[in-house]
Structure 1
Amino acid sequence: MNRNYLFTGLTIALLALSSCNEPQKQQARGPMPFPIESAKKDNITVYNEYAANIEGEQNIEIRPKVDGFIDKIYIAEGEEVKKGQILFKLSAETLNQQVNAAKANIEVAKAQVVSAQVEVDKISPLVKQNIISKSQLATAKSNLNAANAQLNAAKADYMNAQENLDYTIIKSPVNGIIGSIPYKIGSLVGRSETQALTTVSNISNVYAYFTMNEKQLLQFNRQLDGKSVKEKIKSLPEVELILADGSIYEQKGRIETINGMVNPRTGSIVYKAIFPNSANLLRSGISGKVKIPSLENNVILLPQKATYELQGKKFVYLVNKDNKVESKEVKVSLAVGQNFIVQGGINEGQSYVTDGLIKLRHGMQIQPVSEKHHTPDANAAMSNK
C-alpha cells in the first residue's frame, strides 16, 4: 500500500514540474513569425460593369402601303432574309383593274393628242393663205396642249396605279432576322393597322445601351483625353460584353455615342456601344453587361486576406518599429481581384501583416517575415502554433 502511495506522489510531482516548464518553453520560442509587406503605390486597370440592353443596328417594322388580304407569306419567324427578298404578297384584283383602267386612259389621251395635232396641221396652211383667221389656229393649238396635258395626267395615274400594285409585293429593305408574324394568310391588312406585319432586325452589328449616374459620369469623363466630345469618345478604350450566362462575348466593342443630356428624373446619361455580330449570336432584346476598363493611377492595393471586418468596417494590422502590431481602420473603394483599392488609413511605406490575422491581437509583438522570403515552412510554423 505504501508503495502505491509513493508511486502516485512521484507521478504528481513530475506532472507539476512539466507544467511549470511549459510556459518557459513557450517564452523561449520568442515572438511568432508572421508575413508582412510594405504598402506601395501602383497604376492598375479597373473594370466597371454596367447593365445593358442589346438592340440590333436596325429594327425595321414591315407595314403594308396599300389595303388588301394576305395572299402568301414567304418567310417564317426567326428566318434570316436578304435585302430585296419577298416577304408577303397581298391580293391585287382591285389594283389590277385600276392599272388596266389607267392604261386605257393613256390610249384615249393619245388618240386625243393625235386628233388635236391633225387639226393644227390642217389649219396652219389655211391661216398662211389668209383663208382662216389666226384665232382658229390658236384655238386648235390650245386644244393640242390640253390633249398633251391629259396624256401626261393619264400616264401619272398609270404610274400611281402600277406603284400601288407593286406595293402588294412586300420585300425586305435590309438583311436581317424576321421577328414575330402576327397575321395569317387571308388576314385583311392596311395602312391604318397599328400592328406591323413583322419586324426585320439587322443584327450584323448590335448596340448595347447602358447608363451612368452623374457621379460615375464625372469620374469617367475626367479620365478621358480630348477637348470635344468626338475626341473624348475616340480616346475611349475598347469595351467587353458580359452575356446573360456570365460568359464574355468573344468580340470587343467600342463606345460610339454619349447622350448630350442627363435624364432629370433618373439623374443618368445614356451611352451606346457597338459590337460586331457576324455569327448572329446576339439578338435584339437580350440583356448583358458592358465591361469598361479604366486606369487608376498612384493607388495603394491591399490584399483582401490582409484585412478583417468589424461592425461593417475594415481593419488591418500595421507593424511598428518595435515589431508590435496595431489595429488600424482602412477605407477601401473597389475590390480588384483579390485586392482592395485603399482610400485612406494606410500610407505608402507602412508595413502590414498579410496573413494569419486570426492569431493576432492589438499590441502583440511578432517576428516579421518579408512576404518575398515567406517560405512554406514559415506557414507551417504559424499553423502549428
Structure 2
Amino acid sequence: MKQSPYKKTIPAAVMGALVVLALGACGKKDGAGAQQGGQMPPAEVGVVSVTPTAVGMETSLPGRTSPFAVAEIRPQVGGIVLQRLFNEGGEVKAGQTLYQIDPASFRNSVESAKAALARSEATLVTARQKAERYKELVSIKAVSQQDYDDADAALKQAEADVAANRAAASTAALNLGYAAVKSPISGRIGKSSVTQGALVTASQTTALATVQQLDPIYVDVTQSVSELARLRRDLESGVLKRTGDGQASVKLVLDDGSIYSKTGKLAFTDVTVDAGTGSVSVRAVFPNPKGELLPGMFVRAKLETGVREGSILIPQQAVTRNTKGEATVMLAMPDGQFMPKVIQTEKAIGDKWLVSDGLKAGDQVIVEGLQRLRPGTVIKAVPLAAASAPAAGR
C-alpha cells in the first residue's frame, strides 16, 4: 500500500522542533551552571586604621555661678538717710558713696572733740613747765620733794588727757566719715531696702543693699571622690600629663547648650568631702567683662584634666553590642576575611569612643559596610574616606 506524502512530513517537522528545544534547554542549563560555579565580587567596606594619639581629657560637671565677692551694705552709725546716691541694678565703684546719713550731729561731735583736745593740750603746756621748774628747785631744796612729785604727776595726767581727747577727736571724725555710706567693692548693686528719710542704726541686721562683684565670677561644681582619686592616680603614674602651667583650664556650657566665649581656670578643690553625696566642691573662676554670667545660673563646666598619650579613638558608628551587652567592632583581616573583636570603651569624645582595651596600633576597624557582612563573605577593605567618596558623589 502506498503511504501519503503528508504522513512523512509531520514526523520530520516534530523531530526538528524537538531538536531545537533540546539544544536550547542544554544551552540554558550550561549557562546556569556556569553562573552558579562563578565567585561573587568582594564586598567593599570602609575601614579606619587604629593610630594611637595624644588626647586632651575633659571632665564634664554640673554647677552654678556665684559672685566673686559679695558686700552687704550696713551703716556704721545711726541717723536719718538724707539721700540714696545710686541706681538700683547699676554698676558701682569701690569707695563710691551709696547713702548719705544726716551728718549734723557728727560735725558737732567733731567740733566738741577738737575743743576738748585743745583744752587738754593747753593744760599740758602749763603742767610741763611747772614740772620742769620744780625739778630744778627740788635739787636746791627750794621746794619739797612732795611738791615736785605732785607736779610730775599732774604732767603725766595732762599727757594722758591729751591722748584721750586726741582719740576722741579721731573717733568723731571717723563717725562723720561713716555718715557717707560707701561701697567697699566694685560691682553690681541690687535693690535698696530703705528710702530717703528712713531711720537707720549702726550695724543693723537688715542690709541697706548688696553689692556683688561679677567680673570675674566663680563657677562652683561638685566632683565625686572616686573620680578625683582616679584623676590623681593617672597624673602621678604618668598616664595623664599636665598641660601648660599645670593649672587646669575650664570651658563653660550654658543652659541653652551654647559655649561661653571665655575660658576659665581651676581655682581650688575643697578639702572636705560631703558626707551625703560623697563628693567635693571644685571652684573655677571665669572672666565676665560683659556681665553675661549672672549669679545662680545653671551651667556645665568642662575641666581639661590633662593629656593622655597613646590613646585610641574610633568612630562611634563602628561599635555595636553583642548579646552579652559587650562593645564589639569588626576587624578587616589581610586575607579578605573579617572577625568580631570585644573592646572596652571608656568615654565618648565628640563623635568617637575612647578605647581602653581590645585594639592595638594597625588594626583595621570596619566602619562602613557592616550590613554587607555575612558568614563566608569575602571583603575588600578600603580607607574610610575612599569608601565614602562614591556615596558622596551620588
- Given the two structures, how large is their TM-score scaled by the length of structure 2? 0.75
Q: Establish whether residue 73 from structure 1 lines up as the match of residue 84 from structure 2.
A: yes
Which residues of 2 match residues 87-106 of structure 1 at below 5 A? 87-106=98-117
Helix, strand or coil for the counterpart of 1:239? strand
Residue 122 of structure 1 deviates from its aligned partner by 8.4
Q: Establish whether residue 335 from structure 1 lines up as the match of residue 343 from structure 2.
A: no
2:67 is aligned to 56
1:169 alignment partner, one of 180, 198, 211: 180
Matched residues in 2 for 1:373 and 1:211: separation? 41
1:7 is aligned to none
Helix, strand or coil for the counterpart of 1:270? strand
* Contact 1:322 1:365 survives alignment (8 Å): no
* Contact 2:124 2:162 survives alignment (8 Å): yes
1:259 alignment partner, one of 266, 270, 277: 270
5+ residue gaps, structure 2, are: 1-20
* Contact 1:210 1:290 survives alignment (8 Å): yes
Matched residues in 2 for 1:345 and 1:226: separation? 22
* Contact 1:226 1:235 survives alignment (8 Å): no
Residue 221 of structure 1 deviates from its aligned partner by 2.2
When structure 1 is superposed on structure 2, of 137-146 and 331-340 the one drifting more is: 137-146
Matched residues in 2 for 1:128 and 1:333: separation? 98
1:242 is aligned to 253
Helix, strand or coil for the counterpart of 1:53? strand
Matched residues in 2 for 1:124 and 1:345: separation? 102
Which residues of 2 match residues 113-124 of structure 1 at below 5 A? 113=124, 116=127
Helix, strand or coil for the counterpart of 1:240? strand
Matched residues in 2 for 1:158 and 1:67: separation? 18
Residue 73 of structure 1 deviates from its aligned partner by 1.1
Residue 66 of structure 1 deviates from its aligned partner by 1.8
Residue 86 of structure 1 deviates from its aligned partner by 0.8
2:314 is aligned to 302
RMSD: 4.0
Q: Establish whether residue 197 from structure 1 lines up as the match of residue 208 from structure 2.
A: yes
2:379 alignment partner, one of 348, 359, 367: 367
- Structure number, greater radius of gyration: 2
Offset from partner CA, 1:182-214 (integer Å, 9 cap, x none): 222233333443332222233332233323222
Give the 3 Å change call, closer, same or farther, for CA 138–342 of structure 1 in structure 2.
Answer: closer
Matched residues in 1 for 2:89 and 2:37: separation? 76
Residue 26 of structure 1 deviates from its aligned partner by 11
* Contact 1:49 1:291 survives alignment (8 Å): yes
- Given the two structures, how large is their TM-score scaled by the length of structure 1? 0.77
Matched residues in 1 for 2:389 and 2:189: separation? 65
What is the letter of the counterpart of residue 44 of structure 2? P
When structure 1 is superposed on structure 2, of 61-70 and 107-116 the one drifting more is: 107-116
2:303 is aligned to 292
Helix, strand or coil for the counterpart of 1:333? strand
Matched residues in 2 for 1:115 and 1:277: separation? 64
Q: Percent identity?
A: 27
